[in-house]
């Protein structure tokens, strides 16, 4: 079971003006192989997002951190920018797979600025803020994710053997 954290970026959600449906969808999509140990909603503030990602990765050390929200074109959408500043390694294939999968359903998928990367032994994946976007993004990556997490956590050998 993979220790998982969920971080939602939503100004209205952080103020209690909107119920978080994307976090619920993340939990539902993950299934039994993932244990959500941390869940928080914060506003779309770059410095706060950076600080929270660092805290989660450095102090709580989950295998997986899924963020939701703040991946679009709005001036308040700063999640990928904050993530980029605190990761140690970029993992471009994950958002590429998400966008490719999404493009099979809507041309708007190309508008996502989401990124993925590694900090310490935590894989961070930016997801969209919509329930549909979260569900489809996780459909795209979950089949391969456990292997990557096992390698990152030191529980599996490298890819391409056999």
Residues 73-105: pLDDT tens digits? 999 999 999 999 999 999 999 999 999 999 999
- Measured CA to CA, the distance from residue 34 to residue 19 in angstroms comes to 23
Q: Are 8 and 67 in contact (CB under 8 A)?
A: yes
Per-residue model confidence (pLDDT) at position 146: 94
Per-residue model confidence (pLDDT) at position 93: 98
For residue 157, pLDDT over 80 is answered with no
- Measured CA to CA, the distance from residue 21 to residue 160 in angstroms comes to 37
Architecture of domain 2-153: 3-Layer(aba) Sandwich (3.40)
User: Across the strands, what pairs with 125?
Assistant: 66, 116
Give tens-digit pLDDT for 128-146. 999 999 999 999 999 999 9
Cα of first residue to Cα of last residue in the chain, in angstroms, is 25
């Amino acid at each position: 079971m993979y220790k998982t954290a969920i971080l939602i970026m939503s100004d209205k959600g952080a103020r209690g003006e909107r119920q978080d449906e994307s976090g619920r969808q993340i939990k539902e999509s993950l299934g039994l192989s993932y244990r959500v140990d941390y869940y928080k909603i914060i506003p779309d503030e770059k410095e706060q997002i950076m600080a929270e990602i660092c805290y989660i990765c450095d102090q709580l050390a989950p295998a997986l951190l899924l963020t939701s929200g703040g991946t679009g074109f709005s001036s308040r959408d700063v999640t990928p920018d904050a993530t980029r500043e605190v990761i140690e390694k970029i993992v471009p294939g994950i958002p590429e797979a998400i966008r490719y999968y999404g493009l099979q359903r809507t041309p708007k998928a190309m508008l996502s600025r989401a990124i993925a990367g590694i900090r310490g032994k935590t894989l961070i994946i930016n997801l969209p803020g919509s329930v549909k976007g979260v569900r489809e993004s996780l459909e795209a990556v979950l089949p391969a994710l456990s292997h990557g997490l096992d390698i990152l956590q030191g529980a599996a050998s490298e890819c391409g053997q056999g």
